[in-house]
Structure 1
Amino acid sequence: MNSALALAALLTFTPAPTAPTAAPTPTVEWGTCAGMSGLDARQECATLQVPVDHAAPAGDTFSMAVSRIRTARPGLRRGVLLLIPGGPGSPGLSRPSTMVSRLPAEVLDRYDIVGFDPRGVGRSAPVTCGLTDADTTLTKLKPYPAADGDISENVAWSHRLAEACARNGGPMLRHITTRNAARDIDAIRRALGEQKLSYWGVSYGTYAGAAYATMFPEHTDRVVLDSNDDPDPTKVARGWLANYAVGVEDRFPDFARFAAGRDAEYGLGADPAEVRRTVLDLAARLDREPLPWPGANPARLDGNTLRETMLTAFYSDAGFPGLAALMKAALTGATLPAPTSPPPAALQNTAAVAGATMCNDVEWPASTVRHQRLVDRNRVDYPLTAGMPVNLGPCAFWPYRPAERPVRVTAKGPSNVLLVQNLRDPSTPHSGALKLRAAFGDRARMVSVDAGGHGSYLANGNACGDRTVTEFLVTGRRPATDTLCR
């Protein structure tokens, strides 16, 4: 049986669901965080029983892992500040320990800092599609086309991944959606006994947080959304992927200035224009003649691996020296720096959850001819990402139809949302964040920060942006109008 017929046999039609019935309030008993290391001594952990299918609350449940660090000043306590992780597919159980050393004392005085592993992630009933190592390379998980732009291998890989997820993902996989993420967040709120919830969502956490603010507006207190996704309900994650092309172009000048200012050290060019030519020429050369890169996945430095390494390095200025050193070594024939890769089990888990979220939220077009045309045009318009952002992926052949429509963020609800956004974010560009701002209308204010990288609040040393978010969390005051922090 060919792959198309095998996939057709796996397709499941899901009828339009009835409105979910409220599940019983889960209970929570706090204790130690067994099996976790490197945590703040104050962090506690617990599990909540949450419905796998919120439309059937009396059915199967799973254990959701949650954590907290309580305020040291109960007399000033306002409530809970929930940390919504990104991804989709990133864990969050250890984030209270990570963030307690960074959050200002006046925020820690007023909130219990609460983290969690989202459904399917980490310690919350983790899922996997059982992919081969060859199918979990970073240049496959982001769909880079072949060196000549051909997408045939992307099509074959997308079939394999969709079929593997249908075969190995288990019942949880079809219930991993952003709407269910919002319902899970509300289960956490109810378990903690809070009438309202304050939260800080980052990256994909901004869309999950926007979904919660749309679905449960009466239960929101102070909402901070940081590094914001475009909420277009006709595209959702397809739009997020396409935005990489814009974001990398927005961010590249920061790296080009860094490298040009250190031309004597790295030899990438004496001015930003020359650095850009060097990067594009090196990627093209590596497309033709990859270099061995032991320990990497794949174990070679080709053009797409360089492009993906560059994208990742752009998340923080701290990534610039390593990227420049890698390019220098590739240009001069020196030994390439040791690569860093996520642990295989974590990569498998993230791939499954990311795929499920993106594909279960909304249907994706499956035309390979259409995608080839998009890739061909995108490679010309945005050469730094070589067509990857508009390429076809596993959602084109996903075995489950979306059970619900994507969340359409609106202006209905309290005016209690603050968006914070870097101007030059490689992953969630400012232009996409403006669309979330528009969708919220007068519910939101936006603080744009003249900085690069992914993650804004407490991430890049911009005192104006940090002060504005902190003041909102502490006092509830936001700027009267949208603000630019230089």
Structure 2
Amino acid sequence: MRAAALYTAAGSLLLTSLAAAPAGSAPARPDATAESHGTAVAAARAAATGVDFGECAGAQNGAQNPPGMECATVTVPLDYARPDGKQIGLAVSRMPATQRDPRNSKRKVPRQGALVYNPGGPGASGLQFPMIGHLPEWKRLAAAYDLVGYAPRGVGRSAPLSCEDPAQHFKGPSSAPAHPSQSYKRERIARAAAYARGCAERSGDALRHYNSLNNARDLDVLRAALGEEKLTFMGASYGSYFGALYATLFPSHVRRMVFDAAVNPDPAQVWYRNNLAQSAAFEDRWADMKEWIAAHHGVYGLGATPEEVQHSYDTARARLDGKPAGGKVGPGQLQGAFLEAGYYDEYWPSRAQALSAYLKGDPRPLVDLAAPQEKAAAQAENSRAVYTAVECNDAPWPTEWKVWDRDNTRLARVAPFETWNNVWLNLPCAYWQAPRQRPLDVRTGPGELPPTLILAAERDAAAPYDGALELHRRLSGSVLVTERDAGTHGIAGGPNACVNAHMEAYLIEGRLPGRRANCAPHPEPKPGAAGRQGAAERSVPGR
């Protein structure tokens, strides 16, 4: 692997020359608004009502519920400025603390309350989180804490959002030009505008209330409903962002917080510039993967240099453009499968093996890996709808196509791997019909917030490392733990024992290292290993 670097040198220079942040009002500051009063009213009501946990109805996203898992619904206002108005229900799951020490099952450990988790998105559900307590890396935390997951507003059973017919969500095979033509751009502009209209038509006036500030307010109502005076929370990726909003809005309600794969909370970055930075970072991660494949040329035969691996990938993309594999996998599906591998290096072996097999005449592994799964269409459409609504509602975006075209044409010259794919995902925000918010200025002063823990992989592409540095600067008393020269998106409870030791010491004992700590990278994947299969992306549903 190369020495760790946030972006390629060219990409880094480019980002400094891009257009100024989209015009908008100054960052919002927490104050005594109608929403803050409404949150207090809703939280008091939730504390009095509590949570009536019972049997879980059906499987969570296709996974069978383990014995002992409980489910419930917590009610929150759709609009916090009107806490007595329309209410919506958030689906919640819980696995009560085992209180059995995994190192000595005869010894009980003190229960420490609820640990609430959000996996990111926007648009991802945390309902499966309590199941994680069965894994060895989580058993100590499962002994001490009730593990609590939930589906944020708009997701799954929590007042679900939709922007289009799910049957139309997976349109394959599709193309994915790294340098699109003007006619292709016009086609995608029309699709983005139509998608934005669909969101407005399907949700009406309610659409504006699906945003990050309301996700943070919902979290406080959930805290109160669980009977917790102070919140213990872990947020990954986007979950770190609204967790940081929570820390800014409700610092006195925080017990402990872990921010995993931290997103840059700078109001000037949310969300247009964050997506530009992400596209630049994915180019570095794609380069990492090509170097790994080249190092195992003897296994995959895709090239002994990164340039040769790129040629193999481009050859496959050109063939798929002429004849989709299995009639379902075109260049767009190929790019999507390899984009997922930019999130998790566990995916590298399966992607390399599928590409190798395809170029040798066997398309089946690639079809199995990348073909759209029709049975997942409804969930995928819902996830993308929530992702779009939250990001578009949260902040101003450029409304003129020429701004998007200029910035991303420049960026694609040095970072072609993800740039235009990222544009097409986010372009509905240029045509958004709901009112925009002003991003909150995430910031806490000395003594306002208990010490918090930030976890980051230095080469994370989905949440570039400078986001963790920025959050560390803004949250007084926070501690940053970095996995050096690694790029997995989300490192809590993963294969790095050093990272896990810091997380456990903090959540179980309240003990933190110095202001910053470093961990060596986890081992690279072994060639030929199966790795994870299929789309398990935790960061950006809809991609």
Aligning the two structures, in what range does the TM-score lie when normalised by the shorter sequence?
Answer: 0.7 to 0.9
Deviation, structure 1 residue 318? 2.2
Q: Which residue of 1 aligns with 2:131?
A: 97
Please list, as runs of the form range in 1=range in 2, the aligned pairs for 1:179-190 lying within 5 A after superposition: 179-190=213-224
Q: Deviations over 1:171-227 (max 9, x none)?
A: 542211100001100011111111101111111111111111111111111110101
Given the two structures, how large is their TM-score scaled by the length of structure 1? 0.88
Q: Which residue of 1 aligns with 2:72?
A: 46
Shift in CA distance, 386/481, structure 1 to aligned 2, threshold 3 Å: closer
Deviation, structure 1 residue 244? 2.7
Q: Which residue of 1 aligns with 2:532?
A: none
Q: Which residue of 2 aligns with 1:177?
A: 211
Does 2:50 align with 1:31? no
Shift in CA distance, 431/235, structure 1 to aligned 2, threshold 3 Å: closer
Q: Which residue of 2 aligns with 1:10?
A: none
The alignment-based identity, stated in percent, is 34
Does structure 1 conserve the Cα–Cα contact (< 8 Å) formed by 2:35 and 2:80?
Answer: no
Please list, as runs of the form range in 1=range in 2, the aligned pairs for 1:22-421 lying within 5 A after superposition: 22-24=40-42, 25-26=45-46, 27=49, 28-36=51-59, 38-73=64-99, 76-131=110-165, 133-134=167-168, 136-137=170-171, 147-148=180-181, 151-280=185-314, 282-283=316-317, 285=318, 289-294=321-326, 299-302=328-331, 304-337=332-365, 338=368, 339-341=370-372, 343-389=376-422, 393-402=427-436, 404-412=437-445, 413-421=448-456
Q: Deviations over 1:387-429 (max 9, x none)?
A: 3345661011111112x42121113322421110111212112
Does structure 1 conserve the Cα–Cα contact (< 8 Å) formed by 2:283 and 2:417?
Answer: yes
SS of alignment partner, residue 127 of structure 1: coil
Shift in CA distance, 483/75, structure 1 to aligned 2, threshold 3 Å: closer
Instruction: State the alpha-carbon separation in 1 of the partners of residues 354 and 474 from structure 2.
Output: 41
Matching residue's letter, 2:492: Y
Instruction: State the alpha-carbon separation in 1 of the partners of residues 314 and 207 from structure 2.
Output: 39
Q: Deviations over 1:302-344 (max 9, x none)?
A: 2x43332211122222211221123224433432422354511
Matching residue's letter, 2:343: Y
Instruction: State the alpha-carbon separation in 1 of the partners of residues 385 and 279 from structure 2.
Output: 24
Q: Which residue of 2 aligns with 1:3?
A: none
Matching residue's letter, 1:327: L
Matching residue's letter, 2:274: W
Q: Deviations over 1:253-299 (max 9, x none)?
A: 4322331232133221113343244435654x358x4431337xxx2
Instruction: State the alpha-carbon separation in 2 of the partners of residues 163 and 241 from structure 1.
Output: 22
Shift in CA distance, 322/291, structure 1 to aligned 2, threshold 3 Å: farther
Q: Deviations over 1:430-471 (max 9, x none)?
A: 12322222222x331111102222111122x21111111111
Does structure 2 conserve the Cα–Cα contact (< 8 Å) formed by 1:204 and 1:229?
Answer: yes
Instruction: State the alpha-carbon separation in 1 of the partners of residues 172 and 295 from structure 2.
Output: 30
Shift in CA distance, 353/145, structure 1 to aligned 2, threshold 3 Å: farther
Does structure 2 conserve the Cα–Cα contact (< 8 Å) formed by 1:80 and 1:111?
Answer: yes
Instruction: State the alpha-carbon separation in 2 of the partners of residues 121 and 102 from structure 1.
Output: 29
The answer for unaligned runs of 5 or more in structure 2 is: 1-27, 100-107, 521-543
Deviation, structure 1 residue 122? 1.0
Deviation, structure 1 residue 365? 0.6
SS of alignment partner, residue 466 of structure 1: helix
Shift in CA distance, 354/137, structure 1 to aligned 2, threshold 3 Å: farther
Shift in CA distance, 226/30, structure 1 to aligned 2, threshold 3 Å: same
SS of alignment partner, residue 464 of structure 1: helix
Q: Which residue of 2 aligns with 1:457?
A: 492
Matching residue's letter, 1:229: V
Q: Which residue of 1 aligns with 2:467?
A: 432
Matching residue's letter, 2:146: D
Deviation, structure 1 residue 131? 3.9
Given the two structures, how large is their TM-score scaled by the length of structure 2? 0.79
Instruction: State the alpha-carbon separation in 2 of the partners of residues 144 and 439 from structure 1.
Output: 39
Instruction: State the alpha-carbon separation in 2 of the partners of residues 193 and 146 from structure 1.
Output: 53
Shift in CA distance, 471/248, structure 1 to aligned 2, threshold 3 Å: same
Deviation, structure 1 residue 478? 1.1
Shift in CA distance, 278/325, structure 1 to aligned 2, threshold 3 Å: same
The size of the alignment, in residue pairs, is 461
Does structure 2 conserve the Cα–Cα contact (< 8 Å) formed by 1:227 and 1:433?
Answer: yes
Does structure 1 conserve the Cα–Cα contact (< 8 Å) formed by 2:329 and 2:371?
Answer: no
Matching residue's letter, 1:52: L
The answer for unaligned runs of 5 or more in structure 1 is: 1-15
Shift in CA distance, 432/291, structure 1 to aligned 2, threshold 3 Å: farther
Does structure 2 conserve the Cα–Cα contact (< 8 Å) formed by 1:243 and 1:427?
Answer: no
Does 2:520 align with 1:477? no
Does structure 2 conserve the Cα–Cα contact (< 8 Å) formed by 1:235 and 1:362?
Answer: no
Does structure 2 conserve the Cα–Cα contact (< 8 Å) formed by 1:145 and 1:151?
Answer: no
Does structure 2 conserve the Cα–Cα contact (< 8 Å) formed by 1:47 and 1:63?
Answer: yes
Moved more, 328-337 or 165-174: 328-337
Instruction: State the alpha-carbon separation in 2 of the partners of residues 275 and 219 from structure 1.
Output: 51
